[in-house]
Amino acid sequence: MTRHLVVAAAQLGPVARDEPRPAVVERLIALGRDAARRGAELVVFPELALTTFFPRWWTEPLDAADHWFETDMPGPATRPLFEAAASLGIGFFLGYAELTPDGHRYNSAVLVERDGTVVGNFRKVHIPGHEGNEPWRPFQHLERYYFEPGPAGFSVWNAFGGRVGMMLCNDRRWSETYRVMGLLGAELICCGYNTPVHYPPDPSQDILAGFHNQLVMQAGAYQNGTWIVAAAKGGVEEGSELLAQSSIIAPSGQIVAQALTTGDEVIVADCDLDWCDRYKKTLFDFARYRRPEVYTLIAEPHSPAHAPTGREPVPPPSEPAVAP
Ligand code: CDT
């Protein structure tokens, strides 16, 4: 008897700057209904799913942007989503901007079980972009102005009959994200993203946006023997083109479902959670094959002293670097 979980990624098309929260929540509920009708027990919504991707604009002072943030989850705007999902018997992952009672701002997500109870919360770890207004850009990417990095790192929860982890957008580009959750036994990782196709610091990467999206998630799934369910906010939002290509990826690294459009769209896949063990107990049997004693550098803060200076092997950080 294998553990099967039918999952959905609910891609959102653009959310306008002036689109009211209740209208967005109605769209989420419609996507959730579609997912439930197609048998899904878990639906993954995008990062910052309740609003437009507001880090594309500079706002001063910072608290003038507080209207983009949620102070409660569920709160008045999101309670209808929690209620609709519970009545459909479908759980969900939802990305949103979080403002805590003591004034911290995070790019967050909540994971909710099929009965409407909160499984856990996640705060984005890797915060991309820049801290200050950079008027030379066609649009800003001010996540580092609006959000603090999540201090808790990555976790995995027992939920949906398996071990479920969470990550948000830029987190998916970092191998450490998957490996930490892999070490915790993740069998399914939920991800939401808003990825502008144009990358002003190096536009040569623009044409590769879709390739890089697949590259990192397919590798992360395979190298850690886990399913990944990734939902985009796609399409041209307030003049900025966002990558779509929401996908569901198997522990083999294969894409089993992918969105065909850049708008509101649900994709569904039947995930055999026991399939993870084909990888976790063979090629990627961590206990048997990993060599953590020679990987210590990757958990050290980055230092230029670690960079090679010549042909000699670079010493580990505990030893002083000697000039060649
Ligand atoms: N939302 C988010 O994290 N987007 C980033 C854009 C990187 S460029 C500043 C991403 O990794 O897709």
Q: 10-residue block means of pLDDT along the chain (324 residues)?
A: 96 98 98 98 99 98 98 98 98 99 98 98 98 98 98 98 98 98 98 98 98 99 99 98 98 98 98 98 98 95 70 60 38
Of 47, 50, 9, the residue nearest 31 (C-alpha)? 9
Q: Of residues 98, 113, 169, 265, which has the active-site annotation? A: 169
Q: For residue 91, list its beta bridge partners.
A: 42
Give the CATH fold of the 4-293 domain. Nitrilase/N-carbamoyl-D-aminoacid amidohydrolase (3.60.110)
Of 109, 115, 193, the residue nearest 154 (C-alpha)? 109
The pLDDT value recorded for residue 318 is: 55
The pLDDT value recorded for residue 319 is: 47
Domain layout of the chain by residue ranges: 4-293
The answer to whether the beta carbons of residues 197 and 14 sit under 8 Å apart is: no
The pLDDT value recorded for residue 311 is: 72
**Contacts with 264 (C-beta within 8 Å, 6 or more apart), sequence order:** 10, 11, 12, 13, 27, 30, 31
What is the atom index within ligand 1 of the atom nearest the CA of 130?
9
Q: Of residues 113, 124, 233, 276, which has the active-site annotation? A: 124
Task: Return d(Cα 97, Cα 192) in angstroms, integer.
Answer: 13
Which pair of structure tokens corresponds to residue 69? 């943030």
The answer to whether the beta carbons of residues 109 and 47 sit under 8 Å apart is: yes
Task: Return d(Cα 194, Cα 21) in angstroms, integer.
Answer: 18
pTM, full prediction: 0.95
281 tagged catalytic: no
The pLDDT value recorded for residue 324 is: 33
What is the atom index within ligand 1 of the atom nearest the CA of 48?
1
The pLDDT value recorded for residue 308 is: 64
Q: Which of 52, 171, 193, 246 to mutate to test the pocket of ligand 1 (most atoms within 8 A of CB)?
A: 193
Instruction: Please indicate whether residue 222, judged by its CB atom, sits closer than 6 Å to ligand 1.
Output: no
